[in-house]
Chain A
């Protein structure tokens, strides 16, 4: 069955959505993300939607659901890479994705979660200690 890959990057869960989503795929993704957060003890979820040409209320709801579920499991979600035309359309549609943090790029999303410098793949917190 078709599936959206859910990758582990340190304490992050990284998801890149590149296909046209249908219901089953979206439901599967919600299951997979929550399972991975729980398995890996992740504290952040980055969802890259730069390949998505539209976000309708169904996908918007899925993003909000994932953010909500992740938060309950102790992980913050940042949705990154939304195309400008998608942003214009979403707001006109009436959805401004309340409760979902967003950033322009994966790097900016990592910095939002872990502070400046996190976006340059400096690895886990240990590498950055001065001691």
Chain B
């Protein structure tokens, strides 16, 4: 069953990153996430949205509520059509950066969520899917 509240937001400017994390905060609050869970998810969303903007030259985020048995969670998908990640394993290491950041974005975000997957190929963009259960 698809979530009727599923939404897709653009990530084209640094203001869009702010809107994206406000949206994640709003949905997580509606689902009554605890404060620490909410903070972790919003922070991960902020990192991944910024990645899509800085490294993927812009993209989009979709957000949907999901359930698994008694569990309730939020699933976020970040997509860009940027240059892609040639070596995902390397990109997940702390301290790895190609930009001006500190290199905590991808590996750090992974630790802030319950499920994390990256699909990417050089020249074909990147899709990062994360789930945080309440």
Give A residues with C-beta under 8 Å from B: 20-24, 53-58, 60-61, 83, 85-86, 88-90, 92-95
Alpha-carbon distance A56/B21, docked complex (angstroms) = 11
**With A86-B39, A88-B39 given, is the CB distance from A57 to B108 under 8 Å?**
yes
Question: Residue on A with the closest CB to B19?
Answer: A20
Interface size class of B (residues with CB under 8 A): 20 to 34
Contact with A along B100-134 (1 / 0, CB 8 A): 01101101110110000000000000000000000
Among A56, A83, A86, A90, find the residue whose CB has the most chain B CB atoms closer than 10 A.
A56
**Which of B15, B36, B94, B105 is in CB contact (< 8 Å) with A89?**
B36
The verdict on A88 contacting B107 (CB below 8 Å), with A24-B14, A56-B50, A93-B112 known, is no
Shortest Cβ gap from B26 to chain A (Å): 12
How many cross-chain pairs have Cβ atoms below 8 Å apart between A and B?
A: 69
Nearest CB in chain B: distance from A81 CB, A = 15
Q: Which of A23, A54, A85 contacts B46 (CB 8 A)?
A: A54
Residues on B facing A (Cβ under 8 Å): 14-15, 17-18, 21-22, 25, 35-36, 38-40, 42-43, 46-47, 50, 94, 101-102, 104-105, 107-109, 111-112
Kindly state the separation between the CA atoms of A69 and B69 in the bound complex, as whole angstroms: 52
Q: Which of A20, A86, A93 contacts B111 (CB 8 A)?
A: A93
B101 to chain A, nearest CB (A): 6
Q: Is the CB of A95 within 8 A of B36?
A: no
Are B102 and A57 in contact, CB atoms less than 8 angstroms apart? yes
For the complex, what is the distance from the CA of A94 to the CA of B104, rounded to whole Å? 6
